[in-house]
A and B are shown apart, each in its own frame.
Chain A
Amino acid sequence: MSKKILIVDDETHIRMLIEQTLEELEDEGVTFLTAENGEVALDIIQKEQPQLVFLDVMMPKLNGMEVCRRVKKELGMEEVYIILLTAKGQEADKQRGLDMGADVYMTKPFDPEAMLSKAREVLDLPE
């Protein structure tokens, strides 16, 4: 089964930036999927079952917290590794995100190096 990463953010440039950050993983057989809102994301997660999801918190329709809760609690897809992304200064959300079942919490602007090494770690790809 090929490795898949889902990138969920309503801002196009953030999606592109994350993709660009993780670009080198493509050579190692990783496929990138993107979604611009929570509803689409939930759909893709069920269909494609990605191993790793970068999930923005603040999104229209279905926000990241809710997506996270449904995936982890309702759908019982515990194995999907979810990294919540939120703007700096809203760290208060952190605990709530973790309560919703998120595995890790990252702030934006994110550190590209940290993001890449985290993705490698989750997908079990050597540095």
Chain B
Amino acid sequence: MATSPLKPLLKNKSEGAALLQQWTLVNQSAVCITNSDGEVLFGDEALITNNGIAIDLHHQTVGFVHAGEHGLFLSNLLSALLQKETDRKKLGTEVLHLYQELNVIYNFSEKLAATIDSSLIAAYTLEQAMHAIPCESGVLIRWNETTKTLEIPANIGISLFNHHRLQSNLSLLYQLGYSGHSAIVENVEDLKQNGILKEDVKAIMYAALKGKHRIFGAVILATRTQEFYTAGHLKLLVTLALQSSAALESALLFEKNMQEAKERELSMLHIHNATRKFVPEEFLRSLGKDSITEVQLGDQVEKIVTVLFTDIRDFTTLSESMTPAENFEFVSAFNKQLGPIIRHHKGFINQYLGDSIMALFPRHPFDALRAAVIMQQAISKMNEQRGVKGLLPIVAGIGMHTGPLIMGITGDEKRLDAATISDTVNTAARIESLTKNYKAPILLSESTYDHLPEDDQFFFRYLGRVSLKGKNNKIGIWQCLNESMGIHLTSWVQVRTDFEEGIKAIEKGEPQKASVPFQKVLSSMPDDRTSAHLLDLCLEQIHQQPRQSVANEENASFPSPSGSGN
């Protein structure tokens, strides 16, 4: 002990000093108390003799009483007081120590409660262990059941463990970390010989990490300054390991669940990616949905869109020369060419209907027009290749109309379908079928035409108002002259007035008058098949009794729109 235990007992104003003071007064007797080395702690130095009575504490002389005949009594009294005081202090130290442990455990719980990250928990465990237990090195090992390997999620302090040896010596570690025991290692030399521990390690202990039904690892502490670990140290480590186990177990479970949730989400994404090939994403987005799984019967939205129909002319004739498989292949190849053009122009394919396509352009009618022209160009290119192979050219008509459209989910609880319900669709389909009669590759309704911006890349001509099947009101139609066979723009500019005069006459119901300008047009542009058709109609009417207007006659001769799906 650095300072004499007697000193605080007898210091100025202390209880011991006061008692002795009282005693000397009562007994009218002087006393001197010295340290074991002769320092006076109380009383008069003059009283010191060679026969001082020893004051003992735990069989050790800690001082002397010089008080003549009362010496023995005072020495016994002081010994007893000293004993009591020492016991009190020892108890106090022990209680404080326990309190410190309590504080460590308390802080640890608080930290654990604040995290759900298993590697953080592992690090905290070692941090707290190092704070509470003398050690210079700690590792937390975990047995990974999935990979069947030993993992070291955390290590702390200086390296007293050879980590690569930890991995390589599984059987030994199995004993240490997977036994489910907690112990102070009796023979450190074994571990040193196996190369797991560094040479200067003096003591090592470990506590198991246990879940509800399994052991999943251990916390191991090593020291090179502490000669040995005590049961108290181990008890504290076990307490920490126990807390850590519970937190680790829930963290690992949480991580596993998160992983599974991620995998589920990923597989949902795959399904989503697959379904959107069937139901266009734009369709879902228009309904305000992110995924097909969110769609419910009755979801719907109304929008102004341009509906575009394409159809292969005389496909029946074309397909008669092919086997069903060839047929399928032909249609697939055709759609494969046109699909990307539609998407590139911000449109989406609502439906493939055999040889015909129904596409929606929600943004602007101009998108639809440009897509139509490029599609016709693509078809021309296809025809070049077909010509080389000696195959018949494909002729396709494209018709479009702009108007309100309801997109929604119809069907019943068991079978849902994405559907577009609108008169706009019917009108667009009928305009497409007009391309056949008019021999026009691209036809637009007036509502589409009216929405187009000024653009000198595209040329149009007005074909008059026609009544469509099932419609009361007539609708104006326009032909896009780009990609129209047999029309050269230089010639067109010269005959434009004549053509327009012819259309006016037809609209007035004067076929006789109309036939003259059309003949003029044809003499300049003999390959203009649309004008040829119009002239034919006029002549037909002139020969018959003119009881109906041309436009109405037109109506009567229209076939019902094919493949509109409505």
Chain A nearest Cβ from B41, distance in angstroms: 15
Q: Is there an interface contact between A20 and B96, defined as CB atoms closer than 8 Å?
A: yes
**Contact residues, B79-105 vs A (CB, 8 A):** 89, 92-93, 95-96, 99-100, 102-103
Number of interface residues of A (CB under 8 A): 14
Are A110 and B8 neighbours in the complex by a CB distance under 8 Å?
no
CA A17 to CA B93, docked complex, whole Å = 9
> Which of A17, A88, A111 has a CB less than 8 Å from the CB of B95?
A17
Pick the residue among A27, A88, A112 that contacts B96 (CB under 8 A). A112
Given contacts A20-B96, A23-B89, 17 further A-B contacts (CB under 8 A): A16-B95, A17-B92, A17-B96, A17-B99, A19-B92, A21-B96, A23-B92, A27-B3, A27-B8, A88-B106, A88-B110, A109-B99, A109-B102, A109-B106, A111-B103, A112-B96, A112-B100
CB pairs A–B below 8 angstroms (6 shown): A16-B92, A16-B95, A20-B92, A20-B95, A23-B92, A111-B107
Q: Which residues of B contact A17 (CB under 8 A)?
A: 92, 95-96, 99
- Please name all residues of chain B whose beta carbon is closer than 8 Å to the beta carbon of A47 when the two chains form the complex: none
How far, in whole Å, are A111 and B99 apart by their CA atoms in the complex? Answer: 9
A22 to chain B, nearest CB (A): 10
| Interface presence of A61 (CB below 8 A) | no
| Distance between Cα atoms of A27 and B102 in the complex (Å) | 27
Residues of B at under 8 Å CB distance from A? 3, 8, 89, 92-93, 95-96, 99-100, 102-103, 106-107, 110
**A111 contacts across to B, CB distance below 8 A:** 103, 107
- Number of A-B residue pairs, CB cutoff 8 Å, is 32
The 9 closest A-B pairs by CB, nearest first: A20-B92, A109-B103, A20-B96, A109-B106, A109-B102, A17-B99, A111-B103, A112-B100, A17-B96
What are the residues of chain A within 8 A of B110 when measuring CB–CB? 88
Say whether B99 contacts A112, CB under 8 Å.
Answer: yes
Count chain A CB atoms within 10 A of each CB in B8, B95, B99, B107 and give the residue with the most.
B99
Expressed in whole angstroms, the minimum distance between the Cβ of B477 and any Cβ of chain A is 78
A124 to chain B, nearest CB (A): 22
Closest B residue to A109 by CB, please name it. Answer: B103
Contact with B along A22-49 (1 / 0, CB 8 A): 0100110000000000000000000000
Mask, A64-104, CB within 8 Å of B = 1, is 00000000000000000000000010000000000000000
Inter-chain CA distance A27–B99, complex, in Å, is 23
Q: Which residues of A contact B96 (CB under 8 A)?
A: 17, 20-21, 112
Closest approach, in angstroms, between the C-beta of B382 and any C-beta of chain A? 78
Contacts of A23 in B (CB 8 A): 89, 92
Could you tell me the distance between the alpha carbons of A37 and B89 in the complex, rounded to whole angstroms?
24
Docked complex Cα distance between A20 and B99 (Å): 11
Cβ of A112: which chain B residues have Cβ within 8 Å of it? 96, 99-100, 103
Closest residue on chain B to residue A27 by CB atoms = B3
Q: Which of B92, B93, B110 has the most CB of A within 10 A?
A: B92
A2 CB, min distance to chain B CBs, angstroms: 9
Which A residues touch B95, using CB under 8 A? 13, 16-17, 20
Question: How many whole Å from B243's CB to the nearest CB in chain A?
Answer: 16
Q: Tell whether A20 pairs with B106 under 8 Å between CB atoms, given A26-B8, A109-B99, A112-B100.
A: no
Give the complex CA separation of A78 and B110 in angstroms.
35
